[in-house]
A and B are shown apart, each in its own frame.
Chain A
Amino acid sequence: MRIWDLHCHLSGVPGLSPEERAGALLRIADRMGIERLCLYMGMRWAKNPSPQELRQQNDEVLRALKAHPDRLLGFVYTSAEHIEASLAELERCVAVGPMVGVKLWVAKRCHDPKIDPLIHRAADLKALIFQHTWIKTGGNEPGESTPADLVALAKRFPAVPMICGHSGGNWELGLQAIKDQPNLHADLAGSDPTWGITETACRLLGPGRVLYGSDCGGRSFASQLAKVHGADLSNADKELILSGNLRRLLSPILRAKGMAL
């Protein structure tokens, strides 16, 4: 079964440079049979990054991509707090550069229409949009989106596929929140491997809207792969989740850029 990992980072991985860290990540991914990794954000994170920090983190991912162009796929880190700077990063890293997706984290909640110019341009470029979401029992960060926030955004762009990062973390609530919005897809990454997440996602969204990701280096590949390998699903559904769906969502931009599928 081919495995593409939707959700990887350079943080939490040994190595002093982006190149070293990407190499370390790939050596571990090799043990798990993972073919390609989507990579976003730099070696040191900022919850509300300045334009300069966005550029620096994207520069680090660009260095990693240059070292392993056949294995890594980059998503440009952007922020709805800095729309102009983020649009510039989108041009630099996706329109001109090799990146294929957009990562939005916790700087500003995504339900705010202020984010729309960024989504319009990303859609023009066919870049895949990934929005982190959580529903935390103790309360979210001020700028942290919930799955319901993402539904509000997805309704304004019904033809643009988007990923609901972590399926909302508390996936029993998150999957329910996004199930009726057909352009939203569930990212399985970055939560404990609690039994039932993958079966529930497939039941509520259908297996064509569920994607494997790890959130490595913060998470282990193993605990996150177990959500798919250990799920009570057919091999055909597991193939979709492990790589088929991501390859389908990325195929327009990979084809446009002449990159291998």
Chain B
Amino acid sequence: MKRRTLLLSSSAIALARVHGEELASPAATLVDCQLYIGDHPRRDLPQFTPSSWAALGLKQGWVGHFGAFSSEANHQALNAELRQRCADLPGSVAAQSLDLSQQTWRRDLEAALAATARSKALLRLCPSLHGYDWKHPALGELLTLCSQRSLPVQVVAKFEDARTQRQDRPLPPLSLREVPTICERLPQLRLMLLNINATEAQVQLRGCRNLWLDSAMIEGAAGLAGLLGHWPKDRLCLGSYAPFFYAAALPLKLQEAGLPGLDHQALAHQNASAFLG
């Protein structure tokens, strides 16, 4: 597969002139909660390198492995590769994967935690790609464990617009119906759903207090500011879903939101830091 370097043009970071005035360019204070390395199952995408990482101006990025999308992945090997690649990316946090439909998941979990600094342990699950959902007993067991051990968990809720899915290789979404019940049952759990849209947040997830969301699929004019009219201000984080999505959307969405200083800081990095613990 051809390798490209992720291009993050300077115009994306410090872009806009409004009537001749240069807008303030965001300093390296942003935390991107949803990044990936590895080969995407459907697309030939650019790869992060330390220089592209620096060009994005991130203070921190949480990096998963596209290989984890596969139902046949060896997660122990994948996580080892991920940790090694993250060691070359200053500021990165490995979002390690598990497949709870595999018999080996408990062993994979222990290996992932044993190899990770306590302050940077993070799990990222893709239940719908691995053929299970919130009702799977192993997910209940894992979330209880994460709640007890104060271990943050990201769950990818969807992967692509349903209208553009390839029928021969679909990437199905995860039902959200059980999420409010889980949040209520495990009030100490730190759970972040990735790729939620604004309607899902306001309708299906309304009232879920201990639930964080990322910004990758929040759309609409000044959509992040719009969502914060209905969603707790300390429960929304920036996530790009790069390189499947253009990484440049992340600082641009923050700029478009036009939030007052404290809310801006919360969204830029504070909420993410609180989630990671």
Instruction: Give residues in A with beta carbon < 8 Å to B.
Output: 1, 12-14, 24-25, 28, 30-33, 134, 136-138, 169-170, 191-196, 216-223, 225-227, 229-232, 235, 238
Contacts and interface: CB of A to CB of B under 8 A. Distances in A.
B222 interface: yes
A227 B252 CA distance: 11
A138 B163 contact: yes
B15 A33 contact: yes
Contacts of A31: 16, 18, 23, 222, 255-256, 258
Nearest to A216: B221
A220 B255 contact: no
Interface residues of B, number: 43
Contact of B246 (A24, A32, A195, A219): A195
A220 B223 contact: yes
| Highest count of chain A CB atoms <10 Å: which of B162, B166, B252 | B252
A170 B160 CA distance: 11
Given A194-B245, A223-B253, 12 more contacts: A32-B16, A137-B162, A191-B161, A192-B245, A194-B43, A194-B244, A220-B222, A221-B252, A222-B252, A226-B12, A230-B248, A231-B9
B249 A238 contact: no
10 A-B pairs with the lowest CB-CB distances in the bound complex, closest first = A33-B16, A230-B248, A222-B252, A230-B246, A226-B249, A229-B12, A226-B248, A226-B246, A222-B253, A217-B221
B219 interface: yes
Interface of B: 4, 7-9, 11-12, 15-18, 23, 43, 45-46, 160-167, 217-223, 226, 242-249, 252-253, 255-256, 258
Contacts, number: 135
Contacts of B247: 226, 230
A137 B172 CA distance: 13
Nearest to B225: A28
B246 A231 contact: yes
Contacts of B221: 12-13, 24-25, 28, 216-217, 220-221
Given A192-B161, A194-B245, A221 B256 contact: yes
B170 to A, nearest CB: 8
Given A25-B221, A32-B256, A230-B247, A170 B12 contact: no
B62 to A, nearest CB: 18
Contacts of B165: 137
B261 to A, nearest CB: 15
Given A195-B245, A231-B246, A169 B164 contact: yes
A220 B248 contact: no
| Highest count of chain A CB atoms <10 Å: which of B23, B43, B221 | B221
Contacts of A136: 163
B66 to A, nearest CB: 12
A12 B23 CA distance: 26
20 contacts: A1-B11, A28-B222, A28-B256, A31-B23, A33-B16, A137-B163, A138-B163, A194-B160, A194-B164, A195-B246, A196-B45, A216-B221, A220-B221, A223-B219, A225-B252, A226-B247, A226-B248, A229-B12, A230-B9, A230-B246
Contacts of A216: 220-221
Contacts of B164: 137, 169-170, 191-192, 194
Contacts of A226: 12, 245-249, 252
B220 A217 contact: yes
B255 A222 contact: yes
B227 to A, nearest CB: 11
A193 B167 contact: no
Given A12-B221, A137-B163, A220 B253 contact: yes
Contacts of A32: 16, 252, 255-256
B14 to A, nearest CB: 10
A129 to B, nearest CB: 24
A243 to B, nearest CB: 12
A51 B167 CA distance: 38
B260 to A, nearest CB: 13
Contact of A220 (B7, B46, B160, B219): B219
Given A169-B163, A226-B252, A33 B244 contact: no
Contacts of A235: 11
Nearest to B256: A222
